[in-house]
Amino acid sequence: MTIAAVIDTISTDTALNSPISHDTIARTAWATIAEPGDPHVGALIARYGPEPALTALLDCDDDTAVGRDGTIAQLRSTVLPRYSVDKVVDAIRRTAAGGYELLTPAHPSWPASVTDLGETGPFALWARGDISVLSAPSVALTGTQLATPYGQHVCVDLASGLIERGWAIASGAACGIDAAALATGRAFAGRNLVVLPTGLDDTFSAENAGLVDAAALRGVVVSEIPLGSASAAWRFQRGNRLLAALATKTVIVEAEHQSGALNTAMTALVLRRPCGAVPGFDPRANAGCYRLIRDNGARCVATIDDADRL
């Protein structure tokens, strides 16, 4: 049951190419049992460290040993049932077998920008490709999955122009605007930073798997979900906060009133990152963009210069 069991198993695994630190093991364990951005877990880790906090959760019968706020008792009832030594070991083995990078705040390539998320930051990051792109100047281009021809044209125009000016293009891997951003990166030999809402071994969406593969060749694909994890719909919007934190600035191209892309924009605004929106012609496809500009302080983006100078 304990973290020591994971450490013992990992330390004797001859298939692993290099030693895995206790901190990395603990953060991997937290990623397998807690949902991304859980502020209660984030606060616990920030206060005590990943390994002591996990040890308290797994081994300590006295809740007062880690605090009197009831956090440990609450987490025991919610996330502890998800804990499995085999699951943690499997995630680490899959990482090594697939040649992926497992990043934690102790890693020299950990992107400092995600620190702004505070207690809702990622426990760890799994990456494929050039991890230096995680810290490169980038523009998040995202929006509706039901993109109009106009929206796709605008996305291609913005992405190609920004690539020419040295920006990496960040996006998710959904259909619509995300797919247009990925396709433009491939066509113009740009660097893409792709945030997946699933593990790296479970590309979302399946029809864009080729675009994601191409992005990994010149850029980086990243996720905070451990390999081997089952997909979960409620994680998709939580991935938007990571996209906003990794990107230098965010531009929304077409977003309906309830579009998930608005979460990316709102996170960017909360983090005081530059944020813009492209007002289109279709009121239904752009209601979210209008709202961002009218009510939330996003800037109107009409040209590549507008996006470049946000």
Domain boundaries, the chain: 3-99, 129-308
Residue among 241, 259, 192, 196 at smallest CA distance from 219: 192
Q: Which two tokens stand for residue 91?
A: 């995630």
Residues in contact with 259: Cβ distance below 8 Å, sequence separation at least 6, in sequence order: 143, 144, 288
pLDDT of residue 250: 98
pLDDT at residue 248 above 70?
Answer: yes
pLDDT of residue 148: 92
Least confident segment among 31-40, 54-63, 220-229, 242-251: 54-63
Q: What is the pTM of this model?
A: 0.91
Q: What's the rounded Cα separation, in Å, for the pair 4 and 10?
A: 10
If you average pLDDT over residues 68-78, what whole number do you get?
A: 68
pLDDT of residue 21: 85
SS3 content of the chain, % helix, strand, coil (to 5): 55, 10, 35
Residue 173 vs residue 17, higher pLDDT: 173
pLDDT of residue 242: 96
The share of the chain scoring above pLDDT 90, in percent, equals 62
Strands 220-223 and 249-253, by their bridges, are unpaired
Answer yes or no: are the C-beta atoms of 249 and 268 closer than 8 Å.
yes
Q: What's the rounded Cα separation, in Å, for the pair 265 and 60?
A: 41
Q: What's the rounded Cα separation, in Å, for the pair 268 and 292?
A: 12
pLDDT of residue 42: 93
Dihedral over alpha carbons 85, 88, 89, 91 (to 10 degrees): 150
Q: What's the rounded Cα separation, in Å, for the pair 20 and 22?
A: 7
Architecture (CATH level 2) of domain 129-308 = 3-Layer(aba) Sandwich (3.40)
Least confident segment among 14-18, 150-154, 196-200, 296-300: 14-18
The secondary structure of residue 135, as a DSSP letter, is G
pLDDT digits (tens, 9 = 90+) for 257-297: 888 899 999 999 999 999 999 987 888 888 999 999 999 99
